[in-house]
Structure 1
């Protein structure tokens, strides 16, 4: 997300918060303050993103193994070799 988008979202949040405060201070307020979805922590979002990437990688790997008729043992050996040579982390 670029800086402009972050600033825009911050302004929207600030405006919504100010409006909510005005409604609370109003004597005839019905407390009609909108609530959004629950806020997730950054850690939870990153974990979900990592799980999504992992699932996508596994699906691509299975597809390639099927297309090239490579058994899991052969692919595992190849990955272990690449890892031992420092080509993958």
Structure 2
């Protein structure tokens, strides 16, 4: 079982195509993973969201989401080799 205490981040980025490619590679070899998707412009700051305070002009649409893939600590090195992230 993959939990917060026994997982490590394999990859964090904004490229959705790479995110999906890495997930497919992990699935093909049977490595268990979890993923997180975070809307960077929807983060709450002191008085509202980032977009509400600063607007979204000048920020590329493909960079508004941040993707993270987590794997079990014991499988991290194997996952790096499989995905070519070493």
| Superposition TM-score tier, normalisation by shorter sequence | under 0.3
With CA pairs under 8 Å and 6+ residues apart, which has the higher RCO, 1 or 2?
2
Query: Which has the larger strand fraction?
Result: 2
* TM-score, length of structure 1 as denominator length: 0.26
Query: Which has the larger helix fraction?
Result: 1
**Bigger-Rg structure (1/2):** 1
* TM-score, length of structure 2 as denominator length: 0.26
